[in-house]
Amino acid sequence: MTEKEKCANGLLYNANYDQELIQEKIAAKDLCGQYNQLRNSDSEARISLLKKILGKTGKNICIEPHFWCDYGYNIEAGENFYANHNLVILDCAKVTFGDNVFIGPNCSFYTASHPIDVKQRNEGLETADPIQVADNVWFGGNVVVLPGVSIGKNAVIGAGSVVTKDIPENVVAVGNPCKPVRNIEQ
């Protein structure tokens, strides 16, 4: 089994020395670098390049520079996706965003996790767990979403939160660790 296959199956894998993963990561980061240099007024080129970087997008998508990801092909963004400046998505596993997702500045989504066992960690091993964000979710600035988290539809994640566990739909959730603090009435 290749390192990429191990990753896709949620197993320990080594991305540091696997040439396939290294080359894919370099290609994605080169495209992100190009994207970050485009003028804001060049919206056609920006959308075109985002569609090259990301695995799937809706028609209406906007990511303000600077944007960085590991591979790109594991990211799916629905319709009306907006991310403010300095978005980081470490997409070793799938990161799926529904429709009408709004992300504040300086937000990060991490699918990669490293072993607690020092020997495994020093060997460069890691695992990856997908992140799923439903429709109509809003993230305040400086939010971090950790591996394996799902966020329910219509949720609002308060600024500065660290999302370590699933968040249900129709709630405002805040804090470190992020927890629901109130329901949203529909």
Catalytic residues: 114
Please report, in angstroms and rounded to a whole number, the separation of the first and last CA atoms in the chain. 48
Closest C-alpha among 74, 55, 77 to residue 63: 77
Look at the alpha carbons of 68, 100, 135, 107 in this order and tell me if their dihedral is positive or negative: positive
- Determine the residue type at 157: I
Check: CB of residue 36 under 8 Å from CB of residue 66: yes
Check: CB of residue 106 under 8 Å from CB of residue 142: yes
Going through 50-165 in order, the beta strands assigned E by DSSP cover 56-57, 61-63, 67-69, 75-77, 81-83, 87-90, 95-97, 102-103, 108-110, 112-113, 125-128, 131-133, 138-139, 144-145, 150-151, 156-157, 162-163
CA 16 – CA 3 distance, rounded (Å): 10
